[in-house]
């Protein structure tokens, strides 16, 4: 009887050992898969940050609201060969031709609508909000990523890229919501505008509604200001309004990552995925070292001491060339030329010359629209309107 009990216990111990071994192998495989996914995600986000830094230096982002695609005037952007994957005073070159990246479907649609004779002031109000938020994102990205590109080395950008991306992403979400609220109020000057053109085929021209000559339209504008002020407060309380700046923020981010480039004068345009592939090639040694360290540590923790020692010995053999595998050897199979500077490309201004001083801010436009005061000679304009009213009633 005791022998039977002993045999049963031995069988149970063997089953437990086998199950534990199986679970350890499963844990090792699952852990390694998670490590590989994390490394892929890390270097993909690092490649995205590096790519956006090079876009910032090229200065092709729509950072000037006076230029296309917001308006019809096309800026002149300096063509620039940008350093990437530099080493020993040489680097590959990346170019972002403006003509290749000048289209922006959303902003182009906004511009075309504003030029239509039947465009409505209320639609223009919402378009101004969207354009302003998008312009805020593009101009901020243009400045921030160029600053990173000038300040940090390429290896530092790749090494800290995911952390930079997370920080800038969180900052961008907060800044977009704050700016959206500001633009919601400052764009209300559209409530006090009316078309001055009468021809159906002409591009519309807008003028401010007079408090004295058009008291009904002016009162409607005041009513809309009150209504939309209540609406923004309500949507903020309900949390609905936060989705609009988030959508615009992600639209700007995705559109930047979709910019096309020319890598090493190749005839076929390239994009982000080409840079991602090259980052994995150029930083192959770093990736393999991290992967090997993780594999050794997971072997010790999941499979035991002997498998851990075996994985360590095999890794050392591969590293020193005893086992011939070139995974620890750097690949240099891309063309590199002498490095250029890291200064941002120049871009011409589309601001039209004016004799009326500096352009007004959105809040000044709102105040001027409410009271219909010109940027210069506000008192003369008010006197002129009073005379017009007197003429109307004296006829």
The residues pairing with 263 across neighbouring beta strands, listed in sequence order, are 94
Split at pLDDT 50, 70, 90, the class of 239 is confident
Roughly how many angstroms between the first and final C-alpha of the chain, as a whole number? 127
In order of 13, 19, 266, 375, the CA distances from 5 in angstroms are 12, 21, 77, 102
Choose from 25-34, 142-151, 385-394 the range with maximum mean pLDDT: 142-151
Instruction: Provide the pLDDT for residue 48.
Output: 96
Mean pLDDT, residues 362-369 taken together: 60
Query: Half-sphere exposure of 354 toward its Cβ, with a 13 Å CA cutoff?
Result: 10
d(CA 151, CA 165): 16
d(CA 335, CA 91): 8
User: Are 172 and 137 spatial neighbours (Cβ–Cβ below 8 Å)?
Assistant: yes
Decide if pLDDT at 359 tops 60: no
Q: Full-prediction pTM beyond 0.95? A: no
8-26 pLDDT, tens digit per residue, is: 555 455 544 444 444 488 8
In order of 81, 120, 141, the CA distances from 338 in angstroms are 11, 54, 28
- 191 DSSP 8-state letter: G
For residues 290-329, one letter each, b for 16 or more C-beta atoms within 10 angstroms of the residue's C-beta and e for the rest, the string is bbbebbbebbeebbeeebbeebbebbeebbeeeeeeeeee
d(CA 364, CA 366): 5
Instruction: Provide the pLDDT for residue 363.
Output: 57
Mean pLDDT, the chain, whole residue set: 84
Higher pLDDT, residue 354 or 36: 36
Helix residue ranges per DSSP H, 152-206: 154-186
User: Are 95 and 80 spatial neighbours (Cβ–Cβ below 8 Å)?
Assistant: yes
Radius of gyration of the chain (CA): 31
Mean pLDDT, residues 373-393 taken together: 49
DSSP-assigned states of every residue in 259-323 = --BEETT-SS-B-HHHHHHHHHHHTHHHHHHHHHHHHHHHIIIII-HHHHHHHHHHHHHHHHTSS
22-61 pLDDT, tens digit per residue, is: 448 888 889 999 999 999 999 999 999 999 999 999 999 9
Mean pLDDT, residues 123-128 taken together: 96
Instruction: Provide the pLDDT for residue 377.
Output: 45
Higher pLDDT, residue 352 or 286: 286
């Amino acid at each position: 009887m005791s022998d039977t009990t002993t045999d049963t216990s031995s069988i149970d111990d063997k089953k437990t050992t086998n199950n534990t071994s199986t679970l350890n192998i499963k844990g090792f495989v699952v852990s390694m898969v998670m490590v590989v996914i994390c490394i892929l995600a890390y270097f993909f986000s690092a490649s995205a940050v590096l790519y956006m830094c090079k876009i910032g230096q090229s200065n092709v982002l729509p950072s000037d609201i006076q230029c296309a695609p917001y308006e019809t005037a096309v800026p002149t952007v300096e063509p620039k060969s940008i350093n990437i994957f530099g080493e020993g005073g040489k680097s590959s070159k990346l170019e972002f031709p403006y003509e290749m990246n000048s289209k922006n479907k959303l902003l182009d649609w906004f511009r075309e609508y504003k030029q239509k004779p039947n465009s409505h002031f209320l639609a223009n109000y919402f378009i101004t909000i969207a354009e302003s938020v998008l312009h805020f994102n593009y101009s901020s990205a243009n400045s921030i990523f160029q600053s990173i590109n000038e300040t940090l080395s390429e290896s530092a950008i790749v090494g800290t890229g995911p952390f930079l991306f997370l920080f800038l992403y969180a900052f961008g979400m907060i800044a977009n919501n704050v700016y959206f609220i500001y633009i919601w109020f400052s764009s209300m000057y559209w409530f006090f505008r009316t078309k001055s053109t009468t021809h159906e085929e002409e591009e519309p021209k807008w003028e401010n509604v007079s408090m004295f000559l058009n008291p009904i339209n002016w009162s409607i504008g005041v009513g809309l200001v009150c209504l939309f002020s209540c609406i923004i407060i309500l949507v903020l309380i309900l949390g609905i309004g936060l989705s609009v700046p988030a959508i615009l923020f992600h639209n700007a981010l995705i559109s930047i990552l979709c910019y096309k480039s020319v890598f090493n004068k190749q005839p076929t345009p390239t994009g982000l995925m080409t840079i991602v592939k090259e980052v994995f090639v150029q930083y192959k040694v770093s990736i393999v070292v991290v992967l090997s360290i993780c594999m050794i540590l997971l072997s010790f923790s999941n499979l035991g001491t002997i498998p851990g020692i075996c994985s360590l010995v095999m890794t050392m053999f591969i590293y020193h060339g005893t086992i011939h595998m070139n995974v620890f050897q750097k690949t240099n199979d891309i063309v590199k030329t002498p490095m250029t500077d890291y200064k941002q490309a120049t871009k011409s201004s589309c601001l039209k010359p004016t004799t009326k001083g500096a352009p007004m801010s959105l809040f000044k436009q709102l105040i001027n629209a409410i009271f219909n005061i010109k940027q210069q000679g506000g008192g003369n304009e008010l006197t002129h309107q009073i005379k017009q009213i007197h003429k109307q009633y004296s006829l």
